[in-house]
Amino acid sequence: MSILIYAESAEGKFKKVAFELASYAKAVAQTMGTTVTAVTVNAGNVSELSKYGVDKVLKINNDKLAGFTAKAYADAIKQAAQKENVKLVLLSSTTDSLYLAPLVAVGLEAGFASNVVGLPLSTSPFQVKRTAFSNKAFNITEISTDVKVLSLGKNSYGVFENASSLTEEDFAPSISDADFGVKVQSVEKSSGKVTIADADIVVSAGRGMKGPENWGIIEEMATVLGAATACSKPVSDLDWRPHGEHVGQTGKPVASNLYIAIGISGAIQHIAGINSSKVKLVINSDPEAPFFKVADYGVVGDLFEIVPKLTEKLKAFKAQNA
């Protein structure tokens, strides 16, 4: 009996969340005295997973699963869990896994806990810590079912190397046409930029920028930091920036290591969506801006003076430490 994780990949390469999930699973497995098994779908070289404690990989290679279909993927993960007789299944909190986790739980008649942010507090009874109320509080959830499914919150545990010897096994689940009631026609992906979901640093700006023509200073800072660019809802509504950059409770959630908010006042919905970020830096000319109440660091002043100067300092720092 091992712990099963779904190791997500894109275009054959594992996402960062796969390594975080493997690291988390290994830590849980060590407390429970068991091993970690990963199920992959159309992934390339799976040996990378051994660096983070995975002992066995069930490799699914199926052209039907080339595009993400939640029901089909959930069925495949369910069958992998049943094959390995696992009692604990772990998924991440990416867009795909947020669809998958409840379906997997229903298929396995398992108890389910989302937004898990730490190792189990206890394994008997099985209790985990989760975020609640838009990340403003925590709750302790106890799962009493025989099989359990957890969804690990983004960037809540970290990536830790813990090498293991890896066994690879081809796995061919029975996928029926009934699993493809919903079909994905196309997927649009940004290229050449760091995505908000994968970014360690996010540079975000709001209406304080005064117009789309001024976004050059934001993009320059993001380039220097290797960061993703984002924006507030009013900015995307005004078509100053693409809607894909809209972050907050009504846009994309952010759980980065550093979130830089420039010219954003800090509406409740925006703060709720980025509150999982570990460090928040706010730059705003209004000292009474609500964002300062939740900021770790705040700078009051004209962003058109501060941002270029900060970018130059960052360039100099990088040059000295290259």
> What's the pLDDT band for 190 if we cut at 50, 70, 90?
low
Q: Could you confirm whether domain 201-320 is CATH 3.40.30.10? A: no
Asked if residue 56 has pLDDT above 80, the reply is yes
- Quote the pLDDT of residue 247: 95
Compute the C-alpha angle 112/83/1, nearest 5°: 70
Query: Nearest 5°: phi and psi at 4?
Result: -105, 130
Q: Which amino acid is at 35?
A: T
Fold: same for 3-180 and 201-320 = yes
- Quote the pLDDT of residue 191: 63
Place of tokens 């490799």: 59
Place of tokens 């000295």: 320
Average pLDDT of 283-290? 96
Helix (H, G, I), strand (E, B) or coil at 37: strand
Instruction: Decide: 79 and 174 in contact? Cβ < 8 Å.
Output: yes
Give the Cα separation of 196 and 255 in Å (integer). 9
Asked if residue 121 has pLDDT above 90, the reply is yes
Residues forming a β-bridge with 14: 9
Place of tokens 């806990």: 113
Average pLDDT of 104-127? 95
Instruction: List the strands of the sheet with 258-262, edge to edge.
Output: 228-231, 201-205, 258-262, 279-284, 297-300
Asked if residue 108 has pLDDT above 90, the reply is yes
- Model confidence, pTM: 0.84
DSSP string, 202-214: EEEE-GGG-SGGG
Give the Cα separation of 266 and 309 in Å (integer). 23
End-to-end Cα separation, the chain, in angstroms: 47
Question: Which tokens hold the place of 237?
Answer: 């509504």
Give the Cα separation of 276 and 264 in Å (integer). 17
Instruction: Decide: 65 and 179 in contact? Cβ < 8 Å.
Output: no
Instruction: Decide: 163 and 25 in contact? Cβ < 8 Å.
Output: no
Give the Cα separation of 271 and 134 in Å (integer). 9
- Quote the pLDDT of residue 168: 95
Q: Could you confirm whether domain 3-180 is CATH 3.40.50.2000? A: no
Instruction: Indicate the DSSP class of residue 296.
Output: S
| Strand residues in 7-110 grouped as ranges (E) | 9-10, 13-14, 36-41, 56-60, 88-91
Percent of the chain residues past pLDDT 90, beyond the cut: 82
> What's the pLDDT band for 211 if we cut at 50, 70, 90?
very high
Domain locations in the chain? 3-180, 201-320
Average pLDDT of 118-135? 92
Asked if residue 90 has pLDDT above 90, the reply is yes
Q: Residue 143: how many CB atoms within 10 A of its CB?
A: 19
Give the Cα separation of 144 and 124 in Å (integer). 9
**What's the whole-number average pLDDT of the chain?**
93
166: nearest Cα among 58, 261, 60: 58
- Quote the pLDDT of residue 187: 73
- Quote the pLDDT of residue 74: 96
Query: What separation in angstroms does the CA of 257 have from each of 121, 138, 212, 276, 278?
Result: 24, 20, 26, 9, 5
To 10 degrees, the CA torsion angle through 128, 132, 138, 142? Answer: -30
275: nearest Cα among 251, 239, 249, 242: 249
Give the Cα separation of 37 and 4 in Å (integer). 5
Give the Cα separation of 278 and 7 in Å (integer). 24
Asked if residue 181 has pLDDT above 80, the reply is yes
